Structure 1
Amino acid sequence: MQSALADKAAEPAFFRALLDATVYAHVPRQNPSGRVRFIQFTTPEGLTVLPFFSDEVQAKAAAKSAATVVVLMGHQLFELTRGATLMLNPNTISCVLYPEEIAALIDHDKVAIVERVDTDGQQLVTRLASERPTWLIDRLVALYASLSCVEAAYLAEIGTPENPQRGLLIAVSVSSKDAERVARATTTELQAHCQRLQTTVDLTAFEPGELPDWLKEIDIEPFYILTLGRRLVQAPKRVQ
């Protein structure tokens, strides 16, 4: 984990190591349902997470008298908690694992590397995309339909005055508490198919209802909106 925090390139090795690691989680002391139930909590940012720990001492200190500590292998915990957002060692240097990352890891042994880029005052130029790869948009529409936090998404070209066609930019309308999940889910989805990309793809996020001026200036229409996602999710499946 320390290596992954220091170097993004080490993230895949860290995620894979968790699969075979012994980990510790919390379950209620009283559980009349008879089903396995893990304890979750909500962070100050409003994110609901399921805590787990890399050592028993941390797990017992956090549980105190309110929970029971259970011992599992990492892959067992990931399978049992599919769809949840997990947080490793929440009371020390923590790490959040989002559902899409966990699914890609246990289903396909894939781990996307996500890196935040600071433009550091660099002048950037955005404009309408001259090409809109259908396969790219189709994948993102399906992904965002599964993420109810995404209000809208736009596709533009981004570059510099010297190189105006540097690559594509996905701009997502999403609350700040969910922005990292959307960024990681998007990267996880696209990196698995990056051999089809002929250019770079960056992502930026903004709060719903606060459309950035640079998007207004290029008079761009979203390729995805939440109402479209709801229709896709609610659409009945065809019988083959």
Structure 2
Amino acid sequence: MNALHAALIDASHEAAKRPAFYKALMEADVFVIGHTDQPDGGEHSLQAGAKVSLANWEKADGSPVIPFFTHLEALQRAIDAETSYLSLPARSLFEMTRGTTLFLNPKSDYGKEFVPHEIDALLETGMNQQVESRVVEKETQVLLGQPAEYPTAMVEALRQLLPSHPSVQAAYLCLMHDPESGDKPTLVVGFEGKALDQAMREAGSVVVDTAPDNQPVDFVVVDEHGSGVGGYLRESGAFYQA
């Protein structure tokens, strides 16, 4: 077992460990079944300009997927006959297969599917979800309160994640509803601190896996002198404080 596989196991058990897994993945070399235009036989390291052919497998629904592996033993367990394989940086693999679905460690106890939008986000932000910024164009009256069903799993995962980000001084939660929009009420997580971009990116990766089903979640930056949503969040009390 290598460090990447250990991070995958941790991530499968704890949502708060998933950002660390994505960071490890984007810095790691992985194994794929395939060959280049170099002489056949055994392991190859990918050289610049080499032509690459990668194995495509089929999922249960018949759709194609490219398998890749955290370590050589995982690859060997997944195949029935000797075959050529390549070692290359995960980032390079994602770049050359962009738009394709990949599966990490098929036929193993611990694995993960990566769909195209996740791969795009990993290449662009280092996390599997992109945090989209919005600007409120006009003053809007919204209803604020606490959720009737508290998102315990999401909040606990954030409590585990945020101590690794000293930039976050506090985090808050509320439910926001715009009656005029007709949209579903939104959970709002407020972050207080400075230089919050990385913390919010990682929090987004945690929230997407732990928020209640079909429950949208917005992030806001809370200013200690702010009003509106930020003011309400501060009054309601933090679920996390450094």
Which bracket does the TM-score occupy, shorter chain normalised?
A: 0.3 to 0.5
Which protein is bigger by CA-based radius of gyration?
A: 2
TM-score, reference length from structure 1:
0.45
